[in-house]
Amino acid sequence: MEAVVIYESIFGNTGAIAQAIADGLAQDLTVRTVQLPSHSPADDVGAADLVVLGGPTHAFGMSRRSTREEAAHRQGHGHPVEASGLREWLEALTDEAGGRSACVFDTRARSFRYLPGSAAGSASRLMRERGFHLIDEPRSFYVTDMEGPLAAGEIARAKDWGAHLGKAVSLARQHE
């Protein structure tokens, strides 16, 4: 059984969370990770039994070209701006990839913890529209400021969530 963790990461925090989730999943499943942008959503999903999708929350939702430009500006002169991210990946995803188990996560600043809107919430709606079966509620992992670092304990929490997801998918397959 295979899982794929597909993520967008600008400051590296979402990438660290994605790797921790992959480490947890690897206790029960074979795991691949894909950092966006990529060449083909269909190839990214491949034959995976579980798709875990994540990205940073920008302006209370998934990143856009303008928010990626702002983030690149924060990183300093000359930092490349990615033309696409999680939003564009989901828009390019075809319905044939649906019918699989999936879950969604994001990273967001702790100071905005109780404000509405998140990348995971928006992405989960689009995943459902594409026919994916969400097996858990969207998860947010927190950074201490816009650029990070990750809040204390978030790597361990992400790894634990990945282990939980891996066990759930593995048990579900055994009962089919």
* Confidence at residue 111, expressed as pLDDT on a 0 to 100 scale: 67
* Confidence at residue 97, expressed as pLDDT on a 0 to 100 scale: 77
Residue among 66, 49, 50, 67 nearest 58 (CA): 67
Burial 140-161 (b: 16+ CB within 10 A, else e): bbbbeeeebebbeebbebbbeb
Q: Which residues of the chain have pLDDT under 70?
A: 66-67, 75-80, 111-116, 176
* Confidence at residue 156, expressed as pLDDT on a 0 to 100 scale: 98
* Confidence at residue 94, expressed as pLDDT on a 0 to 100 scale: 80
* Confidence at residue 62, expressed as pLDDT on a 0 to 100 scale: 79
* Confidence at residue 30, expressed as pLDDT on a 0 to 100 scale: 97
* Confidence at residue 63, expressed as pLDDT on a 0 to 100 scale: 76
Q: How many CA atoms within 13 Å lie on the side-chain side of 18?
A: 27
* Confidence at residue 152, expressed as pLDDT on a 0 to 100 scale: 96
* Confidence at residue 85, expressed as pLDDT on a 0 to 100 scale: 87
3-state secondary structure of 103: strand
